[in-house]
Amino acid sequence: MQAAASIRLITKEEADIGLLMEADPDEAMIRSYLDDSLIFEMREGCRSIGCLLLFSHDKTLMEIKNIAVAEAYRNKGHGLRLLQFAIEEARRRGAQKLKIATGNSSTGQLYLYQKAGFKITRIVEDYFTNRYPAPIVENGILCRHQVILEMLI
């Protein structure tokens, strides 16, 4: 069951960089796409519990650049709700395709994104091992490749 929470557009000054870094450990990378992204905050009561960054590549393609739910609020349906919100928002803004990328080791995220309707369309081999200084290991798997998922909306 999905919990009741509200989602609103915020400014980059209001964005919780610490929360965004739970999805992308590279702060410089986050700052490089923050300026050009639509930033949405999920709130439950007066608490900020989630964040979503939507980026327009062009008129037809939007990308979820970052999605994160605060640890204490995970596994309650908020992540799925943010994905559904992103799909509706991208459609409302005229996009025809929505993209999201993750790592080969992010098994839970791959599950969640496919459950939300995304399809794996491409693998960028050695993306993470070539770009990040230290190895990233999740679920006992080396995060090596970038997995790109897309959805026609």
Ligand X SMILES: CC(C)(COP(=O)(O)OP(=O)(O)OC[C@H]1O[C@@H](n2cnc3c(N)ncnc32)[C@H](O)[C@@H]1OP(=O)(O)O)[C@@H](O)C(=O)NCCC(=O)NCCS
User: Can you give the binding site for ligand X, defined by CB under 6 A?
Assistant: 22-23, 67-69, 74-80, 102, 106, 108-109, 111-112
> CA 113 → CA 14, 52, 61, 133, distances in Å?
26, 14, 17, 27
Q: How far is the CB of 124 from ligand X (least distance, A)?
A: 14
**Nearer to ligand X by C-beta: 29 or 94?**
29
Q: How far is the CB of 123 from ligand X (least distance, A)?
A: 15
Q: How far is the CB of 118 from ligand X (least distance, A)?
A: 11
**Nearer to ligand X by C-beta: 59 or 122?**
122
**Nearer to ligand X by C-beta: 83 or 94?**
83
Neighbours of 98 (CB within 10 A): 24
Picking from 132, 88, 141, the residue whose alpha carbon sits closest to that of residue 110 is 141
Residue of this chain nearest to ligand X (CB atom):
108
Q: How far apart are CA 6 and CA 49, in angstroms?
A: 10
Q: How far apart are CA 138 and CA 25, in angstroms?
A: 13
